[in-house]
């Protein structure tokens, strides 16, 4: 009987302790969440490996932990972190001397419409950011680009550089050849992803059916996506699916959007034939009538299919070369060959149409 009483008392004590811990955790989680909300911190910060480690370190300290002050975060620990990063960078630099490295440039435009160029260095240990240059301050002639690339090679050390990778724009291409003339043992290599994007651009630019079909596809998506009521109507018919698919490059996005339109062809045709569409104000405006005509035109969908037959194999290769998961170069030539064979097969080996 005593055992039962003792056992019951122990169970009760455990339950009370669990409830207290749960309440304490809820209170702490609420405070932490409020800190996220008040400071507009992105929720995916909780997925950082340091997020859990931070709380484990605080728990090991125990009660009375004093969090870092503004000055400590801004000065003390920032300087320590910079020293640690510099130490890690030295390990990369040592490897560059042993096995060589690749310099990669990545041009982009920021929210202020400034043209920037990031320079990164890749080696078997990994990729590190080297520096960023504001290229909006000078005209991107071959000579100016050459001077910029040459300075980067000098900074890394010519003896350490195996190749430099840039996009395939004419100025960078010419600058790459100038660089190889000056520095005989390194190579300039065009970015594979940019080359793939140029292929897609050429298809849109030089094939009338591609240009026209993409233009019509944009008319459909632009008409829908600037009107919230139409977006809601579309999602009702597509069961929440989107028509626009962002991709790694502009031209891949155009063709992936065509792919999405093709996948939702039936739903779109049903929508533009429905009573809900006919009763809406959008059905009576000229733009609405034009878009309805495109969606219900069988020739448009036939052209979409032909465009996708020519481009989806290339987009598959583009995704491969733009992926950070595995080095793409060992597979690139095989994938390109397979893409060409797939395109030929899609058109029954007919070279021209």
| pLDDT for the residue numbered 4 | 46
CA distance 187 to 193: 18
Q: In sequence order, what DSSP letters do the residues of 158-194 get, joined into one string? A: GGGEEEEEE---HHHHHHHHHHHHHSTT-EEEE-HHH
Mean pLDDT across 248-257: 80
Reported confidence tier of residue 106, pLDDT bands at 50, 70, 90: confident
Architecture of the structural domain at 88-189: 2-Layer Sandwich (3.30)
Mean pLDDT across 128-157: 90
CA distance 242 to 268: 12
| pLDDT for the residue numbered 2 | 42
CA distance 220 to 218: 5
Instruction: Lowest mean pLDDT of 78-92, 150-164, 184-198, name the range.
Output: 184-198
> pLDDT for 22-43, tens place per residue?
888 999 999 999 999 999 999 9
Mean pLDDT across 308-328: 78
Q: Who's near 334: CB < 8 A, 6+ residues apart?
A: none
> pLDDT for 194-225, tens place per residue?
888 888 889 999 999 999 999 999 999 999 99
Q: What is the pTM of this model?
A: 0.68
Q: Is the pLDDT of residue 306 over 50?
A: yes
Q: Does residue 174 or residue 332 have the better pLDDT?
A: 174
Among 258, 123, 142, smallest CA distance to 200 is for: 258
Mean pLDDT across 274-278: 94
Mean pLDDT across 69-78: 95
> pLDDT for 328-348, tens place per residue?
566 777 888 888 888 888 887
| pLDDT for the residue numbered 115 | 87
């Amino acid at each position: 009987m005593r055992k039962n009483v003792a056992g019951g008392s122990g169970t009760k004590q455990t339950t009370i302790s669990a409830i207290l811990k749960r309440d304490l955790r809820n209170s702490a989680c609420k405070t932490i969440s409020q800190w996220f909300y008040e400071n507009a911190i992105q929720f995916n910060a909780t997925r950082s490996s340091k997020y859990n480690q931070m709380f484990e370190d605080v728990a090991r300290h125990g009660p009375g932990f004093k969090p870092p002050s503004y000055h400590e975060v801004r000065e003390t620990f920032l300087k320590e972190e910079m020293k640690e990063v510099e130490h890690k960078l030295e390990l990369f630099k040592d490897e560059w001397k042993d096995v060589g490295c690749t310099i990669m440039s990545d041009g982009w435009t920021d929210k202020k419409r400034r043209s920037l160029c990031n320079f990164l260095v890749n080696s078997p240990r990994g990729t590190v950011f080297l520096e960023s240059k504001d290229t909006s301050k000078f005209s991107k002639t071959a000579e100016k680009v050459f001077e910029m690339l040459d300075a980067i090679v000098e900074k890394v050390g010519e003896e350490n550089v195996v190749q430099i990778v840039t996009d395939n724009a004419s100025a960078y291409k010419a600058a790459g050849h100038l660089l190889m003339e000056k520095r005989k043992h390194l190579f300039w290599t065009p970015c594979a992803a940019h080359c793939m994007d140029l292929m897609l651009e050429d298809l849109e630019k030089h094939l009338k059916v591609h240009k026209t079909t993409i233009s019509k596809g944009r008319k459909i998506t632009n008409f829908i996506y600037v009107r919230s009521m139409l977006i809601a109507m579309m999602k009702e018919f597509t069961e929440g699916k989107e028509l626009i698919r962002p991709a790694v490059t502009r031209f891949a996005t155009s063709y992936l959007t065509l792919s999405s339109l093709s996948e939702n062809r039936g739903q779109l045709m049903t929508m533009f034939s429905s009573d809900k569409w006919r009763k809406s104000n959008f059905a009576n405006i000229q733009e609405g009538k034009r878009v309805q005509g495109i969606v219900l035109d069988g020739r448009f969908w036939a052209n979409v299919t032909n465009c996708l037959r020519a481009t989806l194999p290339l987009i598959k290769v583009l995704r491969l070369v733009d992926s950070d998961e595995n080095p793409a170069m060992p597979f690139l030539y095989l994938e390109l060959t397979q893409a060409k064979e797939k395109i030929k097969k899609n058109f029954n080996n007919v070279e021209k149409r």
